[in-house]
Each structure stands twice: as structure tokens, then as C-alpha cells.
Amino acid sequence: MKNQAWQVESFGENAKWQEVAIDKPKQGQVLIQNHYSSINYKDALGFTSRGKIFRSFPMVGGIDLAGEVVESKSEEFKIGDQVIVTGTGLGENYPGGYAAYTLVDAENIVALPKGISTRQAMIIGTAGFTAALAIHRMQSLGQANDLPILVSGASGGVGSFATLLLSKGAYTVHALSGKSQAHEYLEALGASKVVNLEDLNLGDKPLDKIRYSGCIDNVGGDFLAKILPYIDLYGNLASIGLAGGHKFQTNVMPFILRGVSIIGISSNNAPMNMRKEIWHSLANHLDEKDFARLKVEEIPLQDIDQHMQRYFQRKVMGRLLVKIK
């Protein structure tokens, strides 16, 4: 049983394609033969050592996977079960999905819901799960739909799914993207309007004219601060990404005068009951036509090193799916 994988030996080194040893499952663990993974922004940071993603070394990257159980020391999963792992420290604290096989604690695994394949599960992947988690948390706070919801970084993985899922949920979506070539794609996903940052003409007032019921933000930094004054009464701003920086400075006016909430979205450590609920919801609500609308590029595992830099060159739209088996 050979286990070819992309492994980083130490910080400052890029990942190397090599054979990695496979440990036998201990009590409460399962060994998964991986069918698919995907490339996310966090994966690219760790793979290229641009960011301190890995908590120990050596480390196999890949923060999500879908595959089949081939050995099990868990009462919950048996050989042949198809499963999903996203977050939970996968590809950060313990070896991830960029390998033929991955050993995972059963408590971190979600059984593949009926209605989707392992391939479709990784088209969704961490990105789609994160978008669905953001919408779930916004709705738990009574997210209104009387005004549009703005999605920033809309052409990326999270943004694509946020646009698709919101539009399917009877929300009007305004998609923010600096890529002119993404307009047709985002409209196909359900965006009623596609804008760039200049179109928004964001000012510096503590409060401004209300434009949006809410926002799913993949940018962070100054943009997060600048969009707050335009969110409606008791609207929600889901904070997911930091492509624009991890720091932002604002004032209390949107919070104490309009009741706006900033919701932090951390898909890595979402509780298991919430994970299962969201994955089953995704399987029930997405159909073949939805997957066909998403821009998906399939890449063999051994070739992923050729695609990591694209994230830093802003050349990624939709999902980069990694085929393993």
C-alpha cells in the first residue's frame, strides 16, 4: 500500500512529492483512501510556506478530503463507508488530504450524506461548507432579505458558493469582484448585480445610507471597516477572509445605533452537530444543475504544485478540485 503525498519538511520549504509512511489505526481512528481533495487559499499558504499554517513538521497538506474507509478501529465507521473531513486541524495539526491515504480520528469525520458523491463533496469542500456556515449563522440571527446581501471576493471558492446558496435561498445578491472576466460567471450563479470596489464608492462616515441587509466578506482589512456603515438595522456581516489584511479599525456607531452584528466564521473548529446539519442541508439543496453552474477545474494530485501560486496571482475562479484516486 503506497502512500504518495505532498509533504512539507519544515517552514520555509515548499512541499515535496514523496512516499509517506502509513500508520495503523489506533482505537477511535480510521484510515481513509482519499478520492478527492481541493485547493483552498489556506492550502496555498501552507504549501508554499507563505503562511505559518502547519503546527508541526513534517506535514502533509490539504485541509479537506472525501474518500472511503479502508481500515477502522471505530464503532461509528466501517470499511467501505464513504466519508468527508474538513477542518478540525486536517492538513494543519495532523496529516491532510494531499495523500493517497489519511489517518483520521473518527470524531472528526462526517459520513457522506445521501445525494452527493465524494467528487461533489469536494467541489463543495471547505469553501462551500464555510459559505453555508456563514449563511446558517446569519439566519440564526434573523437575517432579513428586503435589501441585497453583498458578497465580497465573490469569484473565489467561498464567494461562489455564497452567491449560489444565497440566490437559491430567495436573497438578492450583489457580487463584488475585481475580475471583469468573472461577471458572466457570477450572474450565472444567481447574482443580480456584479460590482467592483470603485462602483461601491465607499466613504468614511461613521454611518452612511443603508444599502445592504447583510454582507459575507472574504476580504477583511479596510474593506470590512468601510462596508459596516452601509448595513441595515440588525443586519449581519459574516467575516471569513483576510485577503485585504487581518487588521481593521472602525467605530461603534453601526453596532449601537443600528444593531449590526459582525459574525466570525471559523469553519475549522465548527461543532460536529453543526457540521452534520450543514452537510446534510447542502446535500439536500444542491442538485446537478447547481454543480454544473460552478466553475470547477479538476487537477491530478501529483500536479497541484503547478497551481498553488495562482491564488497569489488572483488567477483562481471557483473551485480547484484535486483528483486523488
| Three-state DSSP string of the chain | CCCEEEEECCCCCCCEEEECCCCCCCCCEEEEEEEEEEECHHHHHHHCCCCCCCCCCCEECCCEEEEEEEEECCCCCCCCCEEEEECCCECCCECCCCECEEEEEHHHCEECCCCCCHHHHHHHHHHHHHHHHHHHHHHHCCCCCCCCEEECCCCCHHHHHHHHHHHHCCCCEEEECCCHHHHHHHHHCCCCEEECHHHHCCCCCCCCCCCEEEEEECCCHHHHHHHHHHEEEEEEEEECCCCCCCCCCCCCHHHHHHCCEEEECCHHHCCHHHHHHHHHHHHHHCCHHHHHHCCEEEEEHHHHHHCHHHHCCCCCCCEEEEECC
pLDDT, average across residues 229-236: 98
59 class by beta-carbon count within 10 Å (0-12 exposed, 13-18 middle, 19+ buried) = buried
Between 51 and 103, the higher pLDDT residue: 103
- Residues with Cβ within 8 Å of 242's Cβ and at least 6 positions away in sequence, in order, are 219, 220, 221
pLDDT, average across residues 279-289: 97
pLDDT, average across residues 206-226: 96
Confidence of residue 191 (pLDDT cuts 50, 70, 90): very high
CA distance 199 to 177: 10
User: In the prediction, which pLDDT does 151 show?
Assistant: 98
Q: Phi then psi for 72, rounded to 5 degrees?
A: -145, 135
Percentage of the chain exceeding pLDDT 90:
92
User: In the prediction, which pLDDT does 243 show?
Assistant: 79
User: In the prediction, which pLDDT does 190 show?
Assistant: 97
Q: Residue 118 has which C-alpha cell?
A: 465524494
Q: Where are the domains of the chain?
A: 4-112+295-323, 128-267
- Rg over alpha carbons for the chain, rounded to the nearest Å, is 20
pLDDT, average across residues 104-111: 98
Tell me which residue of 239, 234, 178 sits closest to 210, measured CA to CA: 234
User: In the prediction, which pLDDT does 298 show?
Assistant: 98
Q: How far is CA 305 from the centre of its chain?
A: 20
In this predicted model, what pLDDT tens digit does every residue of 118-155 receive, in sequence order? 999 999 999 999 999 999 999 999 999 999 999 999 99
CA distances from 190 to 30, 206, 286 (A): 39, 31, 14
Query: 128-267, what's its fold?
Result: Rossmann fold (3.40.50)
Domain at 4-112+295-323, CATH homologous superfamily: Medium-chain alcohol dehydrogenases, catalytic domain (3.90.180.10)
